[in-house]
Structure 1
């Protein structure tokens, strides 16, 4: 099944429900900044490159700020969210990438909006989507955990587990437990708003928490 069109629609719905000035989990961004980020990620090669290339980050941030500023009113914000819902032009690389580029992006950003003003009840997710998120999590976890030092084992609610990083330098392993959605949010730097439990030697847990804080 192809998930990114469904997740795109859910993100657009969350943005519309929040309005232009709702807080998000992205530091310094209101909901209109997040919408601007998604639109420019899919329509501007400079902004897309700025996400990955530090030398272009300032230009990328300025473009996002400018577009967000233009969408401060309800009408302009609805127009901006319509662009989120419409997706990228056919020439843009993100239009070809499908689930690989967009499943994690859209799911996490939807939660950035939903959780921006504090805890909310978890969404009921299709079990097939949970499995897709788990697969994407295992593909993406190694990069944010590369400097962890400790080993990391992820354990989902149904007991499935996977080691995503081995220990180094004589350190131990930390077991991180939670629902797949919560593990995904934690790995992608949203641990302060994620419901996960870390188990292991206190010094190893502290080392991992210093890299990826939790609530």
Structure 2
């Protein structure tokens, strides 16, 4: 089973455990909203572009709300667990683009609760997440107000982005992905000029 499929299964298990009304780190979304988002992303080719294209976001939001309201919880989870259908471009891209997607959204559910700790990930998962950091940072940190280096605990730079005073963000690959995605509970540390660090921490990140 691919890393993406394993993270998908873990996400579905966690959503099933907490139920459809649990909070997430996605502002304004509960777990039912998040499940509807994933279904639209992979199964509604007419609406999925609005996830990334602001001019189409209104239509996507309406379709997502319709899916949320018209599909019962068990069926939403079934569709998320099943993964991309044969007509979806994600059927081929799943091992590449869904590692970060499923990991981040799994943590969106886990870390919205009152008590959580980072999961202990195996070497294969950690290596897979590390490979995602560079491409993800290029999308989310290109306008960072400092020259940001994302570095693992061993000192290896996994990605650089932004311009200005140097700021080093250190953490495990999964935590660096969460930081780049704008998730505040990411377990990372910062090194650099205090003003530059504050600007990076306050900057908008994510897609």
TM-score normalized by the length of structure 1? 0.89
Whole-Å separation in 2 of the counterparts to 1:116 and 1:138: 26
The C-alpha deviation readout for 1:26-80, integer Å capped at 9, x for no partner, is 0110000000111111110122111121111011111112222335xxxx21221
Give the CA RMSD over aligned residues. 1.7
**2:61 counterpart of 1:61:** yes
Other-structure match for 1:184:
177
SS at match of 1:120: coil
Measure how far apart 1:118 and its partner are.
3.5
How many residues align? The count is 205
Alignment of 1:159-170 (within 5 A): 159-165=155-161, 167=163
Structure 2: stretches of 5+ with no match in the other structure = none
Are the aligned partners of 1:166 and 1:173 in contact in 2 as well (CA < 8 Å)?
A: no
Q: Compared with structure 1, are the counterparts of its residues 146 and 177 closer, same or farther at alpha carbon in structure 2 (3 Å cutoff)?
A: same
Tell me the SS of whatever aligns to 1:45.
coil
Structure 2 residue 165 is matched with structure 1 residue 172: yes
1:97-154: CA deviation from partner (whole Å, max 9, x where unpaired): 1222211111101111111124401112111110110110112102211111311111
SS at match of 1:16: helix
CA distance, structure 1, for counterparts of residue 135 and residue 119 of structure 2 = 23
Matched, 1:205 2:197: yes
- Aligned equivalents of 1:188 and 1:163: distance in 2? 14
Distance 1:40 1:60 in 2: 8
Cα distance in 2 between the residues matched to 1:165 and 1:146: 5
Q: Distance in 2 between matches of 1:18 and 1:160?
A: 36
Large movers: runs of 4+ above 3 Å: none
Q: How does 1:103-114 map to 2 (within 5 A)?
A: 103-114=99-110
Matches within 5 A, 1:17-32: 17-32=17-32
Alpha-carbon contact 1:182-1:195 (below 8 Å) kept: yes
